[in-house]
Structure 1
Amino acid sequence: MEIREATDSDAAAIRSIAHDSLNSTYTAFLEEDTIDDAIDQWYGDSLTDELADDRALFLVVERDGEIAGFSQSELVGQQANTGQLLWLHVHPDYRGDATGVRLLVRTREALLEEGADGIQCFVLADNEGGNEFYRAHGFEQAGQREVEIGDETFTENRYVEAGLKDDGWDAVDELSVDGETIYVSYGEAARGTKSPFYTAYKSEDHNDRYAWFCGNCDSIDNAMDSMGRIECNACGNRRKATRWDASYL
């Protein structure tokens, strides 16, 4: 899995994924013509300008060489210090395999790296799956606003990060890696040369630290020395040495 900033050459794939994602999720309360008009408005000729906007952030996620989803965010406020995640679309064929949560995690990290002090996420109130997704990954509802789509007005829920714990963002995902069940804590990250490493636990209560989960290739096959250097044996992702002893690994 590779997550990167979108380029102009990704525009057609972004439009296609938005179309398939919206039609698979929103047709229960949006007419197909309304969805088509919205896609033309949001991801039509103006998309190139959006991709070039310094305050906009589009990330795409690739699986097996194909773009499987994208996120659309922006930095707002007088000092551009609030990160707003407006849309997170995953193609229906790639849902349920952690693609969405990994895209959420990387989008949050990228917004913080760009100077955001906090992250807000928006999802239509009628999208039950989308609301549950944010609640399950460390966010809580903090308000609502009205948005216009086509000729209709809808309620959109605003989510913010739930009360942060001492060790950071409380977003944990249960994954099966190499036949083992692990619990990956995305709030406990270490910067790597290709993608962050995340702390993995053997138990859901976080009492048994187990390994580092490579955010670049989804592997826990890595090596660490006494100075804290980590190298993924599968893809070569590396973390430089630190002064902390992480000998529990």
Structure 2
Amino acid sequence: MSFQTAIRPAESMDIADIRRVARAAWHAVYDNVLGKETVNSLLNEGYAPPLLEQMIELEEVGLFVSTADDDVVAYMSCGMTDATGFGDLDLYVHPDYWGEGIGTELLHRGEQHLHELSVRKIRDEVLAENEVGNAFYRSHFEKVGERTTEVDGQQHPVNVYERRL
């Protein structure tokens, strides 16, 4: 790495940057799988500024950004998904920074937050066609299953991963 990275809790001023990173990462990964229109629709729904603002304000949701030389280049949200001790996280790195270790740094920060919430195990799902996401999860998680999910009326295979904290 020829740049200085830092991870910090997201703030309202980061919303535009989180949306920028999400657009770049989602289009790079999902355009050929889901189509650009579907990706745009999912981004508009899942990254609406009021939703991100709410996530920033909720203590039980950890929303963090990673910066490289003070520019937001990645983000992660994490939280408990059920009372039996399972949590999940969503982590995206701008494609220009793939392979730099930023995702791993964010994962470790997310684990700290989830541990504070008494999460014992992270369970995440990744579309099987998401080669970048699956490569990351294979190197940090154990694949425990497969299923299908529907996105915009189409069935897609999903890999299920777990990581014990």
What TM-score, normalized to structure 2?
Answer: 0.86
Cα deviation for residue 38 of structure 1 reads: 0.3
Q: Choose from 161, 164, 173 the match for 2:163.
A: 161
The answer (yes or no) to whether the contact 1:112–1:118 under 8 Å persists in 2 is no
Percent sequence identity is 31
1:62 maps to 67
Give the corresponding residue for 2:56: 51
Structure 1 residues 7, 98: CA separation in 2 closer, same or farther (over 3 Å shift)? Answer: same
Which residues of structure 1 form unaligned runs of 5+?
163-168, 170-249
The alpha carbon displacement at 1:14 in A equals 0.9
**Cα distance in structure 2, aligned partners of 1:12 and 1:151:** 29
Task: Work out whether residues 21 and 91 of structure 1, in 8 Å CA contact, stay in contact via their aligned partners in 2.
Answer: yes
Cα distance in 2 for residues equivalent to 1:145 and 1:3: 33
Q: Rg bigger for which structure? A: 1
Q: Between Structure 1 and Structure 2, how many residues are aligned?
A: 160
- Which structure features the higher share of helix residues? 2
TM-score between both structures, scaled by the size of structure 1: 0.59
Contact 1:21 1:92 in 2 (8 A): yes
Please state how far the C-alpha of 1:54 moved relative to its aligned partner. 3.6
Question: For residues 206-245 of structure 1, what are the structure 2 equivalents within 5 Å?
Answer: none
Contact 1:38–1:149 at 8 Å: present in 2 too?
no
How do 1:51-200 residues align onto structure 2 when only pairs under 5 Å count? 51-78=56-83, 81-85=85-89, 87-137=90-140, 139-161=141-163
Cross-structure match for 1:232 = none
Structure number with greater CO (CA < 8 Å, separation at least 6) is: 2
For the Cα contact (< 8 Å) 1:37–1:150, is it kept in 2?
Answer: no
Instruction: Say yes or no: does 1:12 pair with 2:16.
Output: yes
The alpha carbon displacement at 1:147 in A equals: 3.5
